[in-house]
Structure 1
Amino acid sequence: MSEQADVLIIGAGPAGLSAALAAANDGARVVLVDDNPLPGGQIWRDGAQARVPAQARQLCDAVDNHATIQRHAATRVAARAGSTSLLVENAERGWVIDYHRLILCTGARELLLPFPGWTLPGVTGAGGLQALIKGGLPVADERTVIAGSGPLLLASASTAKQAGAQVLRIAEQASTSAVAAFALQLPRWPHKLLQSFGLFDGGYRPGTRIVAALGQDRLEGVRLQRGGEIEELECERLACGFGLIPNVQLGQALGCALGSAAIKVDAWQATDMAGIYAAGECTGFGGSELALVEGRIAGHAAAGNREAARRMWPARARWQHFADALNKHFALDPALKRLAQPDTLLCRCEDVPYAAVAAHDNWREAKLATRCGMGACQGRICGGATQYLFDWQPAAPRPPFTPTRIDTLTLLEESAQSSSP
C-alpha cells in the first residue's frame, strides 16, 4: 500500500513546517517527512535540555493539530520509487508515498575543515555541541573554546554557558572590520540587533583562527592565531564550525539543478524539475526567518495559491538582504585552506590523510583510490571539506540514499510492477 499526498514535504525544520501549514491551509493534503524524532530541524532542535522558542512550539503544534497534515518522524527517504513517488523507511516499516507536488526542505549541515588534532575526543562542530547539549550532554564547569565563523559560534557559546560550561574564547576568523561592518547593518533588522545583545560575549575575538587542537588521547588545549600572535589555552572541549553547507543530495538525486552549491529555485521556490520546489537552507543559508518565509511561498505555490505566495515576496527580499550581508561579511579567509598538514586526517571514517586526497584531481578519483567518503558518514563531512578545499563537487548519490532494509527495497519492484501497463 502506498500513501497519497497532494504535497509531500521532506524536512520538518522552519521551512518544512511553514510550508506544510501554508499548503494545508490552502486545502492540500500534506505529508511531512523528517529523519529526526522531533520536529524543528537543527535550528529548533528539541531535547532534554533544549529551550525551544515559543514560535517554534506554536508552529509545531499547529502542524500536528491540522486535520490534513500527516507528519512522519524518524523517517528517511531511501530511494525514488517513480516519477512522482518516493520510497521511505522508519524503524518499523518501509512504504511508498505518491505525491502531486514535492517540496525539499532538507536544510544544511556544518562545514567542518580538517586541522591538526581535529579528530581528538572532545572536539565537535559548533552546531554539534549545541545538539549534544540539548540532547543531555553534561558540560558543567568544562573549559570550552568555540572557533570558526559566523553567528552560530555565539549561539553555541550561549547554549554552552546556559549548561554551565566555562567559555574561555570565541575565535571568529572574520576580520574585525568585517564583523564591525556587519554589526553596523543590524539596525535594519531590529529583532536580530536585539538578539545580538543577548549573545554578546566578552571572550569574542574576531580575526582569530584555530591552528591546532592539542592533546594525546583526548583534547587538552587549543592553539589559536590572531595576526602574528599565537595563543594557547587549556580546555576540555572545542567546538569548531566554519558556517553551513546546503544539504542538496536528495535534490541532486532527483535531477534538480544547483547554483552556488545550493538547490536553484525561481521566484516561486520552484526548481527546474517540474513539480519540485525547495525552501530553506538547502537553497542557501539565511537563518530561520528567511527559511520560514521561503517555506510559506513554496507551500502556497505548490498548493496552487500563487497570490498568497506573491504576497510573501517583500518579506523574503528583506531577509534575503540579511542573508547577503551575513554571507558577505563572514566569508571564509582562503588561509583556512592551509590549516591541514599532509598527515592530518581529512576523511576520519576511513583514516585517509590530507596528502593522499590532495594528490588527486577530483572527488571521484580520490574516492576510488583512497576510500575517502566511503565510510559511515558517506562523505557528508569530508565531501564538504573537499568541496571547500579543492572546489570539488561531489556526485549525486545513488539509491539507496541511506542504509535501508532489504524488505523495504523490495517495495521498489512492487511499485514498478503496479505502475506498469
Structure 2
Amino acid sequence: MSARADVLIIGAGPAGLNAALAAAPSGARIVLLDDNPWPGGQIWRDGPQASVPTQAQRLREHVGALNNVQHHPQTRVIAATGPRQLLVEDAERGWVIDYDTLILCTGARELLLPFPGWTLPGVTGAGGLQALIKGGLPVRDQRVVIAGSGPLLLASAATARHNGAQVVGVAEQATRGAVAGFAAQLPRWPNKLLQAFGLFDRHYRTDSHVVEALGTERLEGVRLRQHGKLIELACERLACGFGLIPNSQLGQALGCTLHGQALAVDAWQATSEPGLFAAGECTGFGGSELALVEGTIAGLAAVGDRQGAARHWPQRARWQGFAKALNHAFALAPQLKQLARPDTLVCRCEDVPYSKLAGQRDWREAKLSSRCGMGACQGRVCGAAAQHLFGWQPSAPRPPFSPARIETLLCLDDTPPA
C-alpha cells in the first residue's frame, strides 16, 4: 500500500502545525505524521489531566479544518525505502509514502545523565513526569523533587503542584549569577517575563544538583549538593532533566548535516539535502515561539513562497536572541560529568555500568564491547548521555528506526527498486 504527498511533515508540534498552516494556501497535498495521539507535541501535550493553551487549541482547529492536510496520529517512520520515500506505521497498518518535499519537525527529548539511584522506581525525567501527570498519573499528596537545568524544571514543578503534589525542592544546577543575568534580559520578551512570574516556586534553588537517589525497592529520598553542602530530602518522586537535545536521528539517517547535535539549516530552514527542510527543536532548542516561526518559514519555503518566508525573518531573529540567552544561562557545569560512580548504570536496557564505558575510545567501540545502545531505546537515552560524558558522536541510525510489525516490513516487498 502506498500514498503520495506534495509536502510531508514529520511531527505535529508547534513547528509542524505552523508549517502545515503556512503551506496549505498553495493547494499542495500535505500529509502530517506524528507519533502522539493528539497534535501539539510535548510542549502542548494533551491528556486526561492536561490543560492545553488556547493558542494550541486554535492552531489545532485551524489545521484540522484544512481540506488539503491529512493528519495521521500515532504514526512512526520505520525506514527510508528510496529517494523521497518513507515506510511508516500506525496502530493498524504500515504503508509507503512518496513525497516531493519533506519537513522534519521532530522536536527534542530530555538529556538524562546517570547518577547513583537514577534507575529506581519513582525517578523520571522532568518532562517525563510532566507527560505522565498529563496522561493521568496520580501525584496528589506525593512529595516531589525536581532537579536538573532550564525552565522545564519550573514548568514540571507547576504541573505537579497543580495536580496536588507537594513540591519540596527545585534544584537548578546553573549559578545564581547566570540565572539572574537571564532574568534581567526577560523584559525583551514580555510574555516570557510574565510566564516566569507565573511559574515561580518558593523552593527553587540555584547552584544545586542531584548527587544520589536514595532507596532500596523504590525511591525514598534524594541527596543534593546545594551551594556546596550536601542535603537530603525525603520524597516519593524525583524528576531530573538536564536540558533538551534535538531529535535529529531521522534527518541524520537521511543524510542531513549536523550543527552540533542539531540539524543544520539555512535562512529558509532548508537542510543540506535538497527538498528537505527542518524546523523547531530538531534544529536547536529555543521554545515554542521560535518553533512556531521556524515552522511558518519552512512551510512557505517548501511550497516556493520565499518572499512570504523572508517576511518572518525578523520575528525569527527576535526569538533566536531568546534561545541564545537561554542556552548560555543554563549551560551544564563540568561537575555534572562526575555524577556517575563506576557501578552506576549508563545503559539501562543492557545493564552497562559506567566502568565498562570509561576506557573505550568511541561510541562504536563501546557498543561492540558492551552492547551499550543496542537495547529497546536504541541509544536514545544512553547515547546522549555518553556523548555528554565522553564526547562521543553517535553514528547515524540504521533502519528500522522504530520497532515495527512483520506485516509493515513486508511492505518493502511491494516497493519498486529505486
What does residue 263 of structure 1 align with?
263
Quick one: distance in 1 between partners of 2:225 and 2:239?
Answer: 16
Assess if the C-alpha contact under 8 Å between 1:246 and 1:262 holds in 2. yes
Counterpart residue identity of residue 355, structure 2: A
Quick one: distance in 2 between partners of 1:62 and 1:255?
Answer: 33
| Greater displacement, 26-35 / 253-262 | 26-35
- Deviation of 1:410 (Å): 2.2
Quick one: distance in 2 between partners of 1:206 and 1:159?
Answer: 20
What does residue 130 of structure 1 align with?
130
What TM-score do the two structures reach when normalised by structure 1?
A: 0.98
What does residue 185 of structure 1 align with?
185
- Deviation of 1:400 (Å): 1.1
- Deviation of 1:407 (Å): 2.1
- Deviation of 1:359 (Å): 1.7
What does residue 398 of structure 1 align with?
398
Counterpart residue identity of residue 239, structure 1: A
Gaps of 5+ in 1: none
> What aligned pairs does 1:258-297 form with structure 2 within 5 A after superposition?
258-297=258-297
> What aligned pairs does 1:377-396 form with structure 2 within 5 A after superposition?
377-396=377-396
Deviations 1:234-253 (A, max 9, x none): 11110000000000110011
Q: Does 2:170 correspond to 1:170?
A: yes
What TM-score do the two structures reach when normalised by structure 2?
A: 0.99
Deviations 1:208-233 (A, max 9, x none): 01110001111000111123211101
Q: Does 2:232 correspond to 1:212?
A: no
> What aligned pairs does 1:13-412 form with structure 2 within 5 A after superposition?
13-412=13-412
Quick one: distance in 2 between partners of 1:412 and 1:299?
Answer: 29
Quick one: distance in 1 between partners of 2:41 and 2:171?
Answer: 26
Quick one: distance in 2 between partners of 1:225 and 1:403?
Answer: 39
Quick one: distance in 1 between partners of 2:125 and 2:10?
Answer: 24
- Deviation of 1:275 (Å): 0.2
- Deviation of 1:397 (Å): 0.8
- Deviation of 1:286 (Å): 0.3
Assess if the C-alpha contact under 8 Å between 1:245 and 1:285 holds in 2. yes
Quick one: distance in 2 between partners of 1:208 and 1:220?
Answer: 19
Structure 1 residue runs of 4 or more that deviate by more than 3 Å after TM superposition? none
Partner SS state of residue 174, structure 2:
coil
- Deviation of 1:416 (Å): 2.2
| Greater displacement, 227-236 / 201-210 | 227-236
Assess if the C-alpha contact under 8 Å between 1:27 and 1:303 holds in 2. no
Quick one: distance in 1 between partners of 2:406 and 2:208?
Answer: 49
Assess if the C-alpha contact under 8 Å between 1:347 and 1:373 holds in 2. yes
Quick one: distance in 2 between partners of 1:4 and 1:261?
Answer: 31
What does residue 414 of structure 1 align with?
414
Partner SS state of residue 148, structure 1:
strand
Quick one: distance in 2 between partners of 1:412 and 1:63?
Answer: 31
Quick one: distance in 2 between partners of 1:207 and 1:386?
Answer: 24
Deviations 1:276-322 (A, max 9, x none): 00000000000000000000000000011111100000000000000
Counterpart residue identity of residue 264, structure 2: K
- Deviation of 1:4 (Å): 1.3
- Deviation of 1:82 (Å): 1.4
Counterpart residue identity of residue 115, structure 2: F
What is the Cα-based RMSD across aligned positions, in Å? 0.8
Quick one: distance in 2 between partners of 1:400 and 1:376?
Answer: 12
Quick one: distance in 2 between partners of 1:39 and 1:314?
Answer: 27
Partner SS state of residue 20, structure 2:
helix
Assess if the C-alpha contact under 8 Å between 1:81 and 1:416 holds in 2. no
Quick one: distance in 2 between partners of 1:50 and 1:286?
Answer: 22
Partner SS state of residue 416, structure 1:
coil
Partner SS state of residue 414, structure 2:
helix
Quick one: distance in 2 between partners of 1:353 and 1:39?
Answer: 37
Quick one: distance in 2 between partners of 1:102 and 1:5?
Answer: 9
Quick one: distance in 1 between partners of 2:136 and 2:396?
Answer: 35
Gaps of 5+ in 2: none
- Deviation of 1:405 (Å): 1.7
Counterpart residue identity of residue 13, structure 1: G
Counterpart residue identity of residue 277, structure 2: Y
- Deviation of 1:80 (Å): 0.7
| Greater displacement, 57-66 / 155-164 | 57-66
Counterpart residue identity of residue 136, structure 2: G
Deviations 1:99-140 (A, max 9, x none): 110000000000000001000000000000000000000000
| Greater displacement, 405-414 / 390-399 | 405-414
Deviations 1:39-64 (A, max 9, x none): 11110000000001000011111111
Quick one: distance in 1 between partners of 2:343 and 2:351?
Answer: 10
Counterpart residue identity of residue 255, structure 2: G
Quick one: distance in 1 between partners of 2:283 and 2:393?
Answer: 16
